[in-house]
Amino acid sequence: MRDFNNAKPCLTGKGVTKTFGFGDKKMNAVDHVDFNFHEGEFVSIVGESGSGKTTLSKMLLGLISVTEGQIDFQGKPRDISTNAKKKEYWKGIQAIFQDPFASYNMFYKIDSVLLDCLKMRGDGSLPYEKKFELMTEACSFVNLKFAELTNKYPFELSGGQMQRLMIARIFLLKPKILLADEPTSMIDACSRATILDMLLKLRDEINMTIIFITHDIGLAYYVSDTVYIMEHGKFVEYGPADKVILNPQAPYTKRLINDVPKIYEEWDLTTV
């Protein structure tokens, strides 16, 4: 585990809140959360379903508006008021979504996803041979052969292949921050380890900040430097992964740790 106290802050938030509904039905999905993510840090946000993880991630991505609070990107207040500024912001932050089957437009060949990335990078005018080379390189990074995948439709690929292709996309874009919203929850255990390893490799190679959103605290412990525990839209506990998981303070964290099924012990269901 590395120490990130002196590293440059990459994405910080103060009192970030998202409210849905009006009047009696008013509900704070994310309730005044503060966070500080550093460059090169592997951050996990752990919480059960409905705790506001995905809402927070969408706010971080700028896909939905922030009701209250401020988000700083690379030390400066984030400005995504116009489409051009949003486009610029998205060069710095990208995402991998939970469901690889829903992440692709099923009417277009998978080439178009990678070609869009090249265009976003500013390599849209390169000759096709050069583009092909770049795409092949990105695919070989995730152990895929582009020559086999080209001209295929998304539904011709397996879930694991699709998710790896999403990582290839990130490899091409090389953003400062990667927001991975439960990228392994729809994938079998074997592919899961591969995908996590690839994310770690990507972090090491380009010093990327990875915000890993998961409901699996065991997985979070395995990969992350810092862990944020989220309950009902609030961070109840956060800190280095060792400290939070080996010595949990909040009762919610203890419960989450107890809920992890263990192979050699009888599963304690009393806390559920």
Which CB atom, from 172 or from 256, has the smaller least distance to other proteins? 172
Which CB atom, from 108 or from 267, has the smaller least distance to other proteins? 108
The token pair at 133 is: 């080379």
Task: Compute the least distance from the CB of residue 58 to other proteins, in Å.
Answer: 8
Task: Compute the least distance from the CB of residue 65 to other proteins, in Å.
Answer: 10
For 158, phi then psi, to 5°, come to: -85, 165
Which CB atom, from 8 or from 87, has the smaller least distance to other proteins? 87
- Interior CA angle at 10 toward 177 and 240, to 5°? 90
Q: Tell me the Cα Rg of the chain.
A: 19
Interacting residues with other proteins (CB under 8 A): 58, 61, 63, 83, 87, 90-91, 94-95, 97-99, 102-108, 113, 116-117, 120
Identify the CA nearest to 212 among candidates 259, 170, 271.
170
Task: Compute the least distance from the CB of residue 184 to other proteins, in Å.
Answer: 15
Concatenate the DSSP letters of all residues of 44-76 into one string.
EEE--TTSSHHHHHHHHHTSS--SEEEEEETTE
Task: Compute the least distance from the CB of residue 156 to other proteins, in Å.
Answer: 13
Which CB atom, from 106 or from 190, has the smaller least distance to other proteins? 106
